[in-house]
Structure 1
Amino acid sequence: MGDKVNAADGEVLRAAIALHPNSEEKIGCGVTHFSVRSADFGSKCFWINRPDGTTEKFSYATCIRG
């Protein structure tokens, strides 16, 4: 929890987020890195960390399902 995703796995997540139905909204002003943090109801999910300091959570399952 709270860990920064390594560069190789980050590339996989960049490809995945491009498939998300709300990818433009999720990416916003860009991606500096990804991290793993808690989400709703105590679950874990990936978070986009943007250059402006904002963050956004996303579901890899939504990326896959489209």
Structure 2
Amino acid sequence: MPAKPITLGQVHFEKRGDAIAFLQSILERYDLGDRVSADDAVFLKAALENHPESDRKIGCGIADFSVRSADFGTKCFWVNRTDGTTEKFSITASIRG
């Protein structure tokens, strides 16, 4: 199966696996409870817009992103909506669609 390219923000990846690794490297830079920087949020927004449930995940709009606990003691990105609600999302689902 040929590689499927994807572009996040201004960065183009020849393989989706490379985009996943890139987003995981961003996740590793943050501690639980941290807000994601505006520069990193550009990539997260682009990834979230590709998520198969993007409309539901984004909801009323994106205020910012943070890193919080996920299932099984891991950490993941959370979208913080403009109405104060939050929703976690999977990096892999966002890239693989």
Q: TM-score, normalised by structure 2?
A: 0.67
Partner of residue 39, structure 2: 8
Structure number, greater radius of gyration:
2
The answer as to 2:53 corresponding to 1:22 is yes
Q: Distance in 2 between matches of 1:33 and 1:59?
A: 16
Partner of residue 41, structure 1: 72
Partner of residue 31, structure 1: 62
Amino acid at match of 1:42: G
Q: Following TM superposition, by how much is the alpha carbon of 1:9 offset from its aligned partner in structure 2, in angstroms?
A: 0.3
Percent of pairs with identical residues? 64
Q: Could you list the runs of 4 or more consecutive aligned residues of structure 1 that deviate by over 3 angstroms after TM superposition?
A: none
Q: How many residues align?
A: 66
Q: TM-score, normalised by structure 1?
A: 0.97
Q: Following TM superposition, by how much is the alpha carbon of 1:41 offset from its aligned partner in structure 2, in angstroms?
A: 1.0
| Ranges in structure 1 where 5+ consecutive residues have no aligned partner | none
Q: Distance in 1 between matches of 2:95 and 2:46?
A: 10
